[in-house]
Amino acid sequence: MGRKWISEHHTVKVLVEPQGAIVAFTMKRYSYLLFVTHAFVGFKRIVTADRIVARAGYSAPASLRLIDELYPNGN
């Protein structure tokens, strides 16, 4: 049986601010975000190319609002 070689770009990013925190596990296709804010504690899966956190100005609450706008039916 042949060997497989899987190469993906994995990154772990952490954002901590007074309004909350985000731990992002970024992979080639999807990013998995762990949010801890006053309004929400949990996971969200987004498309990596959407660059949600950067577009939201690196703010945890603004990122959640943008995810709700872009993914109205969830992931």
Q: Has residue 20 been placed in a domain?
A: yes
Say how far apart CA 52 and CA 67 lie, in whole Å: 7
Say how far apart CA 52 and CA 58 lie, in whole Å: 9
In this prediction, residue 5 carries a pLDDT of: 61
In this prediction, residue 2 carries a pLDDT of: 66
In this prediction, residue 48 carries a pLDDT of: 87
Domains of the chain: total: 1
Name the residue range of residue 47's domain.
Answer: 11-70
Record the pTM.
0.77
> How would you write the pLDDT of the chain (75 residues) with one tens digit per residue?
567 666 666 788 999 999 899 999 988 889 999 999 888 899 999 998 889 999 999 999 999 999 999 998 876
Q: Has residue 44 been placed in a domain?
A: yes
Beta strands in the chain (DSSP E): 11-17, 20-26, 30-37, 41-47
